[in-house]
A and B are shown apart, each in its own frame.
Chain A
Amino acid sequence: MSSRLVWKAALGFYIALFFGFLFGPLVIMSVTAFNTPSYPQVWPFEGFTLDWFAKLYDDRNLMEGLVNSFIIGAFVVALSVPLGLAGAIVMTQIYSPARSLYYLIVVSPVLTPGVIIGISTVIFWKDVTELSGAQSLFNGVFLATLGQATFISAYCMLIFLSRLQRYDRVQEEAALDLGASRTQVFFDILLPFLRPAIFSAAVIAFLSSFENYNTTTFAILANKTLTTVLAGRVRAGTTPAISAMAVVIIGVTMAAAIAYETVKRAELRREAARARAG
Chain B
Amino acid sequence: MTHPFTAALIFALPLLVILAFVVMALIEKRRGGNVGAPGFFQRNGTPVAIFLIAATAFWALVLIVFPQLYMVDYSFHPKLPELKRGGPEDHYTLENYRYFLFGSTQNTDHWNTTHLNAFWITIFVSTVITIVNFAICYPLAYFMAQVAKAPTVLKLMVLLVIPYWINEILRAFAFRILLGTGGLLNNVAIALGLIQEPIDFIGHDIALYAGLTYAYLLIMMFPLYNAIESLDHNQIEAARDLGAPWWHIHLFIVMPFAKPGIASGATLVFMLCAGALAAPLVLGGPKTLWFTPIVYDRFFQAFNWPQGAAYAIILLLTCMAFVSLVMRLFKVNLSEITR
Contacts and interface: CB of A to CB of B under 8 A. Distances in A.
Does B bind A? yes
Given A246-B170, A249-B170, A127 B70 contact: yes
B139 A113 contact: no
Given A42-B184, A214-B278, A230-B167, A25 B175 contact: yes
For chain A, which range describes its interface: under 10, 10 to 19, 20 to 34, or 35 or more residues?
35 or more
Contacts of B295: 115, 119
A130 B7 CA distance: 14
Nearest to A153: B59
A257 B161 contact: yes
A150 B166 CA distance: 22
B60 A113 contact: no
Nearest to A19: B159
A83 B63 CA distance: 11
Interface stretch (B41-49, B109-117, B247-255): B41-49
B67 interface: yes
A213 B166 CA distance: 12
B67 A124 contact: yes
A214 B48 CA distance: 35
Contact of A93 (B40, B176, B281): B40
Contact of B60 (A19, A28, A93, A106): A106
A277 interface: no
Contacts of A153: 59, 63
B262 interface: no
25 contacts: A15-B156, A19-B159, A21-B214, A28-B174, A39-B182, A41-B182, A43-B187, A83-B58, A86-B51, A87-B55, A90-B52, A98-B21, A103-B335, A106-B59, A113-B316, A116-B316, A123-B309, A127-B2, A130-B1, A211-B166, A211-B167, A211-B168, A246-B174, A249-B166, A258-B158
Interface of A: 11, 14-15, 18-19, 21-26, 28-29, 32, 39-43, 82-83, 85-87, 89-90, 93, 95, 97-98, 100-116, 119-121, 123-125, 127, 130-131, 146, 149-150, 153, 158, 162, 181-183, 185-186, 207, 211, 213-214, 217-218, 227, 230-231, 234-235, 238, 242-243, 246, 249-250, 253-254, 256-258, 261
Interface of B: 1-2, 17, 21-22, 24-25, 40, 42-48, 51-53, 55-56, 58-60, 63-68, 70-71, 74, 136, 139-140, 143, 156, 158-178, 180, 182, 184, 187-188, 214, 217-218, 267-268, 271-272, 274-278, 281-282, 292, 295-296, 299, 305, 308-309, 312-313, 315-316, 319, 323, 334-335, 337-339
Given A104-B334, A182-B45, A213-B167, 19 more contacts: A22-B159, A28-B178, A29-B173, A41-B187, A42-B184, A43-B184, A86-B55, A98-B25, A103-B334, A115-B296, A123-B305, A123-B309, A124-B67, A213-B277, A214-B276, A238-B176, A243-B173, A249-B166, A253-B167
